[in-house]
Amino acid sequence: MKQRQDITYVYDGSYEGMLTCVFRCYEDKFIPAQVLVQPSLLPYSRIFTDKSKAARVTRGVARTMGRMAENVIRTVYLADNEQKEMAVIRFVVYGMAAGEHACRDLAHPDVAEVYELFRAVNREKRMCMERLKFSVIGDVLVSVVAPTHNVLPLIAPHFVQRFPNEDIFIYDKAHKLGLTYSHGRTQITQIENFEPAEADEDEETYRRLWKIFFDTVEIKERHNPRCQKNHMPGRYSNFWSA
Amino acid sequence: MTTEEKLKILTDGAKYDAACTSSGVERSACAGGIGSANSGGICHAFSADGRCISLLKILMSNACCYDCAYCVNRVSNDVPRATFTPEEIATLTINLYRRYYIEGLFLSSGVLGSADNTAQLMIKALEILRVKYRFCGYIHAKAIPGTSPQLLQRLGELADRMSSNIELPSSRSLKLLAPDKERRDVLAPMGFIRDKKAEGNKNFVRAGQSTQMIIGATPESDLNIITLAQGLYRTYGLKRVFFSAYIPVAENSLLPALDSKPPLLREHRLYQADWLMRFYDFKAEELLDESRPYFNEFLDPKCNWAVNHPEVFPVDVNRASYKTLLRVPGVGVVSARRIMVARRQRRLDAAALARLGVVMKRAKYFIDGAAGIKLRAADDPAAVTRELIRGENARQLSLFDDMPAGVRAIEGKGGENK
C-alpha cells in the first residue's frame, strides 16, 4: 500500500479509534503520512471511532496474522509514543499480506519497528512491577507511580494474583489513571488528582525497618552507587512510597 | 532488644550470602492466602553495592557455635549477638511482603547449639508463614550441615529453594579454615535434596537448590573453581553456583590481609564463565586448561575463547546451528533465538542483525557478510583482540553493571532455567 504524504488522520486516542484508522487505510487504499490525536494546523481527515470496523480489524488480524499479532497491537497501543499508530498500520498492512509469518519476520523493518515498541512497553511493565512499593493506608495497599507507558492494564493481573484478599489502589500520575481492586473486581478509571493520606504509626514502623534492612544489607567493601543507579533510574525514585 | 536492633544485627550477618534469586516457581495466591511467585523472579530494589534485593535476607540467629575463620559470625568474633523468634520472622516477612518490598524470605542461620536445634527453629518460622498466614510467596531456606534427614525433609516441603554452601573451592581449604565442617557434611544435604526430588514430589524444594563458594580466600585457580562448579551442576543438578569475592573479616595468617580488596573482577569473570556453561553450552575445559588456569583480565571469557579459535570463524548466520550462533561474541541467547526464527523468513544482513539485537560492535569480526568489515578474527586474531579489549575497557568503566549473574533475581534468559 502506498503512503500519501499529504494525508493526516486525526482520531480520539482510543484503542477502537486506532483500529478504525487501520480500517480506513483499507477503504482509502493508501497509508497516511501521520496519525494524530490532537488536530494539527494542516489539513487532516477526522477518523470517527467505529466499534464494528475496529472489531473487523481485530478479527482479520487474529485470523490472518495470529493471536500473537493481536497481543502485540494491544500492547503497543499502551505506548507513550507518537509513532505508535503508524507503526501499527504498517505492521498490519505488511502482516495482512504476509500472513502468520509476519510475527516471525523479525528482521523486516515494519515488524522490527512494532516489536521495538512492544518490547519497550513490556520493559516498562517489568520495571513498574519491580520498583513499585505500597503503603498500607487505612488497610488499603496504595501506590503512586509515573511510568513512561500506560502499563496499569498490564500490571493489574500480577497484583491481583498476589494480593487477592487485599484492597489495592495504584495511581498512575503520568496518565492520570487509577487502578482499583476490591472484592474481586478490578477497574481502571480516569482520576485527575490523587494525594495519599499520611502514613500512620504502623506504616512508619515498617518503612523504618525496611530502611534499616536496605542500608545494612549493602556490603560496604563493594560500594558501587553507579551500578545501583543504573538499575534504579531516577524516575523510579518516586515509586518508593505513596 | 528491639526489632530494629535485631534486624540490623541479623541482616549484617546474612549479607555475605550472594543468593538472592526468587525465580523458578510460578504460583498464584492460594485461597484465603497472600502471595505469589513469578518464574522469572523479581528484583525489588538494588542496594548501594549494586546487588539486587529480592528477598528479606536474614539470619535466624548469629549466635554460632562454629569457628570458621572466614566467617563474620564465628564464635570467636567479638560482635553483638541476636536471635529472632519464629513469630518475629513471620510478622516481619508478612508486613514487608504486603508493602511489596520483597518477593519473600531468605532464611539462614548460625548454628545455635546444634544443627537440628537451628533447623527446628527455622521450620517453626516457616510453618507460621505457610500455615497461619497462608503465605504463598518465595522462601529460600539454608540447609545447615549436619541437619537430620527428617528435618531437611520438612524444610524442603516448606521452602521453594534450599542451599547448602560449599564455602571453599577445595576440601583442603575447608579443613584448614573451617575446623568444625567436613566437606561431606556440606555435601550430604545436597545429595539428600537431589534424591528426594528424584522421587518425584513436585512440591519438594520446587525451585531447586544452589550453593556458594568464596573466591580469593584460598589458592584455588579459576580452572579449579569452574571445574568444581561444572561438577556440582552435573552431580547435584544445582540451579545455581554462586561465587562470592572474599571480603576480609578476620586477621588470620591463613587468609588475605584485612586491608586487601575483594577480587571483584575475578568474581565477575567466573560469573561470565558460569553463564557460558549454563546457557551457551560451553564446557569448563573449553574455557581454561592447565596451561592457562586463569581468565583473561582484559577480555571476557567468550571473546577470549573466540579469538583463540579462529578456525571456527567466520560464522554464516544464515546457516549456522543454534549452538554455533551462541559461540559468536555479541550474540546472546535471545538474539540467537531471534536469528533462528527470522532467517526462515528472509536472508539476514548486518542491518537485520542489528534489528534483532545482535551487538555488532563485537559480532562484526566473527560473522560472514558484515558489510565493510576488513578485519576478521579468522585472518588476524591479534588485531581483533586489541579492538575487543579497547571496547571492553570502555564497558568496564561502568564497573560491571552489565554483570549478568549473582546480582539479579533472574537466573536465566528467555525462560531457559524454569
Nearest to B399 among A163, A218, A226 (CB): A226
Q: What is the DSSP letter of B20?
A: -
R_g (Cα) of chain B, nearest Å? 23
Residue A38's pLDDT is: 87
Which residues from chain A sit within 8 angstroms of residue B43, using beta carbons? 130, 231
| CATH, residue B58 | 3.20.20.70
> Does some domain include residue B71?
yes
How far is it, in rounded angstroms, from Cα B92 to Cα A134? 15
B185 and B56 part of one domain: yes
Among B262, B287, B312, where does a domain finish? Answer: B287
Provide mean pLDDT across the span A163-180. Answer: 96
| Cβ–Cβ contact A216 with B under 8 A | yes
Strands of the sheet with B55-59, listed across from one edge: B55-59, B104-108, B138-142, B161-163, B209-215, B240-245
Q: Find out whether A242 and A143 touch, Cβ atoms under 8 Å.
A: yes
Residues with Cβ < 8 Å from B65, sequence gap 6 or more? B75, B110, B111, B112, B113, B180
Neighbours of A1 (CB within 10 A): 15
Q: Find out whether A186 and A160 touch, Cβ atoms under 8 Å.
A: yes
pLDDT of A240 higher than 70: no
Residue B248's pLDDT is: 87
Tell me the pairing of strands A135-137 and A45-46. Answer: unpaired
Q: Find out whether A86 and A76 touch, Cβ atoms under 8 Å.
A: no
**Could you list the pLDDT tens digit for every one of the 418 residues in chain B?**
999 999 999 999 999 998 888 988 999 988 889 999 999 999 999 999 999 999 999 999 999 999 999 899 999 999 999 999 999 999 999 999 999 999 999 999 999 999 999 999 999 999 999 999 999 999 999 999 999 999 999 999 999 999 999 999 999 899 889 888 888 888 999 999 999 999 988 889 999 999 999 999 999 999 999 999 999 999 999 999 999 999 988 788 888 888 888 999 999 999 999 999 999 999 999 999 999 999 998 999 999 999 999 999 999 999 999 999 999 999 999 999 999 999 999 999 999 999 999 999 999 999 987 666 777 888 888 889 998 988 877 665 444 444 433 334 434 333 322 2
- How far B200 CA lies from chain A's nearest CA (Å)? 27
Which residues from chain B sit within 8 angstroms of residue A68, using beta carbons? none
The helix (run of H) or strand (run of E) holding residue B29 is none
Q: Which domain holds residue B37?
A: 3-287
B132 and B235 part of one domain: yes
- Residue A63 φ/ψ region, left for φ over 0, alpha for ψ in the -120 to 50 degree band, beta for the rest: alpha
Q: Return the residue of B nearest to A143 by Cα.
A: B99
How far is it, in rounded angstroms, from Cα B155 to Cα B132? 16
> Does some domain include residue B248?
yes
DSSP A18-57: HHHHHHHHHHHTSB-SEEESS--SS--EEPPP-HHHHHHH
Query: Please, what sign has the CA dihedral across residues B304, B305, B308, B311?
Result: negative
Query: What ipTM describes this predicted complex?
Result: 0.93
B196 and B268 part of one domain: yes
Which residues from chain A sit within 8 angstroms of residue B57, using beta carbons? 217
R_g (Cα) of chain A, nearest Å? 22
- How far B32 CA lies from chain A's nearest CA (Å)? 7
B278 and B250 part of one domain: yes
> Does some domain include residue B246?
yes
Of A143, A157, A17, A151, the C-alpha closest to A80 is A151
| Cβ–Cβ contact A108 with B under 8 A | yes
Alpha helices in A32-183 (DSSP H): 51-64, 67-77, 84-98, 109-131, 152-162
Q: What angle do CA A76, A80, A82 make, to 5 degrees?
A: 90
B86 and B198 part of one domain: yes
Among B258, B287, B316, where does a domain finish? Answer: B287
Q: Find out whether A197 and A185 touch, Cβ atoms under 8 Å.
A: no
> Does some domain include residue B87?
yes
- CA-CA distances (angstroms) from residue B398 to A230, B50, B56? 9, 11, 27
Q: What angle do CA B69, B70, B75 make, to 5 degrees?
A: 50
In whole numbers, what is the pLDDT of chain A averaged over residues?
A: 93
Prediction pTM value: 0.92
The helix (run of H) or strand (run of E) holding residue B166 is none
Residue A152's pLDDT is: 97
Nearest to A104 among B38, B51, B342 (CB): B342
Of B160, B53, B26, B202, the C-alpha closest to A161 is B26
Greatest CA separation for chain A? 66
Residue B289 bridge partners (DSSP): B292
Tell me the pairing of strands A185-190 and A177-182. Answer: antiparallel
Residue B400's pLDDT is: 47
> Does some domain include residue B409?
no
Q: Under DSSP, is residue A130 helix (H, G, I), strand (E, B) or coil?
A: helix
Among B287, B322, B357, where does a domain finish? Answer: B287
> Does some domain include residue B412?
no
The helix (run of H) or strand (run of E) holding residue A227 is helix A225-231
Which residues from chain B sit within 8 angstroms of residue A108, using beta carbons? 345-346
Residue A153 — pLDDT band, cuts 50, 70, 90? very high
> Does some domain include residue B93?
yes
Cβ of B29 and A164 within 8 Å?
A: yes
B202 and B276 part of one domain: yes
A84-98 helix and A67-77 helix, angle to the nearest 10 degrees = 170
How far is it, in rounded angstroms, from Cα B104 to Cα B54? 7
B218 and B189 part of one domain: yes
> Does some domain include residue B309?
yes
Domain count across chain B = 2
Q: What is the DSSP letter of B114?
A: S
Parse chain A into domains and list their residue ranges: 8-124, 132-239
Which residues from chain B sit within 8 angstroms of residue A107, using beta carbons? 342-343, 345-346, 348, 352-353, 355-356
Residue B413's pLDDT is: 32
| Cβ–Cβ contact A166 with B under 8 A | yes
Which residues from chain A sit within 8 angstroms of residue B341, using beta carbons? 104, 106
Burial class (CB in 10 A: 0-12, 13-18, 19+), B204: middle
Percent of chain A scoring above 70 in pLDDT: 97
Question: pLDDT tens digit string along A47-63?
Answer: 999 999 999 999 999 99
B360 and B274 part of one domain: no
Sequence letter at residue B8: K
Q: Find out whether B273 and B299 touch, Cβ atoms under 8 Å.
A: no
How far is it, in rounded angstroms, from Cα B155 to Cα B138? 13
How far is it, in rounded angstroms, from Cα B250 to Cα A179? 52
